[in-house]
A and B are shown apart, each in its own frame.
Chain A
Amino acid sequence: MSTNRDNLKEFFSSTSGKIGSILLVLFILISVFVVFTYPLNFGNTIWSNPAYWSDYPKSAPPTWISIFGNENVEHQIIDFTSPVDIVPISNQEQRLYSYTFNYDSNISPTFLSLSMYDVVYHDRPPTISVSILRPDNEEVLIYREVISPPRPGEEGPYIRYSDSPFRINLSGDKSVSSNLIQFVQDKSNSQISVNDIVGSNEKYIFSAFSPTDSQEILTGEYKILIKFVTNSENDSISKIRFVLGGSSYGLLGTDSLGRNISVGLLFGFPIALLIGLTTSTITTMIGTAMGIISGYTGGRTDTIIQRFSDTLSNIPLLPILLFLIFIFGPQLWLVMTILVLFGWPGLTIIIRSMVLQINSSQSIEAAKSLGASKWRIMYRHIFPQLAPFIFAQLVFFTPAAILAEASLSFLGLGDPSIPTWGQILENGFRTGGVYIGYWWWILPPGLLIVITAMIFVFIALALEPVVNPKLKKM
């Protein structure tokens, strides 16, 4: 028997104890950060909301892979809020926005898009036009649009795009293609129809039209010119956003919906810890209580608990878990409840047999003959003897719960309102990420699951000699 301080010392003296604790602290810090910075309904409003991710490149690998020499286009989001110039033309007003950038990649952007936010006009609808001034001094008109006119019966001022911005995908828009077609025909000296270029408009906008390589890109200084023509100086537009889709994005790339994988994975930290720790804590509590009561009280209570836990612990977990979640619907709390429901009996059986051993020890006999009540004996004389073991069990059950949820999510039964690592991985798997080679979508979530589980396994390993001194000799 040794004191708590010795135990702690012993625990931290092992490598696995050190690694486990450091990683656990790190994971907890990340989780705290996420809890304070993410909205509560992150799953529904952000992660599962395709509109939120529309301006992100789809299935883009992480930016840092350009280190390995891959061709890369930087993802650029250009926001225009104040015009560089305001030119009055008769009773109209033309507001000019512009942005100059150097394009030196030899592949085109993956897509182009334009969004308008909060347009307010009072009289006639304003017009917007977007053109690009290329390094060869060609100004190409890409897009021209009149803001939607007043509806019959609508009174001014007319407010447009305030709830959600008006977004147009310039790469795939047919009107953009028809704006471009003349320019493309002139440049390439060939008869090309609108249908030929729609869907890859951005390639033609950035093309060098080289006779040898049709894919060649014109590098140099580009300038985006946006003209917003209004009839009243009171008319306003809060923001215009122009996006040059990159070929890579962020730390861990994006999925096929353009979702930033690193953002989703970060959200998974507190969720994984929550699933693991809550489930294992409740399971251990129930398992311990049942085990002690069953072992100490004996008699009919014991028989009932024993039969019950025998049967429950013998049910193969995954099939029944799949069945129940399928029937009741994928909800995280339900998954956790079922894990607890089928998890406690295993512990109860072990605790019971330990209690039976303790029961025959003379310290319990002594407590009984002193007149201690049965609750006092269970709580004060039996429980402390089991406490280290129970704690180790709690740690050991944590990864099991995390892995069970991940497996469930992987089989497509994850709670859609709460993104977890398992779900992100499943999305990748179901989209065929494995076959296409979206490794950034498959490896990181799996790795995080494994590392999280490993943290607790390491801690459990370091606890083992503390809990079970017999092992020290081996």
Chain B
Amino acid sequence: MAGKIWVYIDHFKGKPLPASWEAVSAGAKLGEVTALAFGQDAEALAKQAIHYGASDAFFADDAGLADFRGEPYASLISKLAKEHQPEAILFPGSTRGRELAAMAAIDLDSGVLPDVIEIKDEGEKLAAVRPIYAGKLFSKVVCNSKPALLTLRVRAFGKPVVDTGRSGTTTKVEAAIAEKDIATKIAEYKTVEGRVSLGDAAVIVSGGRGTSNNPNLTPPAEITDEKQKEIWRAQQGFKMIGELAGVLSAAVGASRAAVDAGYVPYRHQVGQTGKVVSPDLYIALGISGAIQHLAGMRTSKVIVAVNKDPDAPIFKMSRFGVVGDLYEIVPALTKAFKERLHK
């Protein structure tokens, strides 16, 4: 690539997403990187981007940009891109990154290569590889216009290297549209209890239908409905899975069957109609491995499965398998890791 590569630094209330630094480091392999840090008092983020490999940065310091909103962020990125004509703009594959890339593509009359796992510099044009059908297939994609906009699959581009000795110019930019011209206002954030961040977790421990399968657990007497008894049992299983996840600093995932049965909220769902994940370690507990689930976790580095059914399809994907009762194996595994990891 001959020209400038821009990288959008995604953050939540000033706290950068690690995926932003993955994007900076992926961009630096293509050319000189200019980082874009929008927000209120975002200069610190701009400087951090330089430590991760950007040559320079634009930053904003505007109360109207304090929280991400598509309209003012897209207007600003599009105005800057029209002035400076970058070759490509990379975004981390977060919900904000994707939304911003989509809006900017319309403003700049260009296209987005979404959720890419590999970038190919083909001289004139930028091409990439991306999973489709939840990873059941890959597609090579080419952007025929400039700037090419790419969102990068989180954790697909390797760990960035930081050098706090690096320096570069940071330039302040002003918001492109006035508050009165923005149709949306953020009223508040409600934090969700037991938040999971499946997308960027290095370790995921997931539970499936098997969590409800423990006849030794007796639900409290006030639960009389069979379905509620099943949910109660499964929730004890997920508590146990949560303890293992705690020891491994892991996020808790679930199969669609477990979510649809009401055992855990949807935000835990891994698979084609949930989250597609790619952790270093994926531990599947009581998950048989429906094709939709396998599609969502097949790129995990090491997969471990515990299942009562020796013919469960999940074993074919797994590095290690245990045919057994998760209610026996999981507490023992939690204890074993506690001893070994000194927690």
A binds B: no
B interface residues (Cβ-Cβ under 8 A, vs A): none
A interface residues (Cβ-Cβ under 8 A, vs B): none
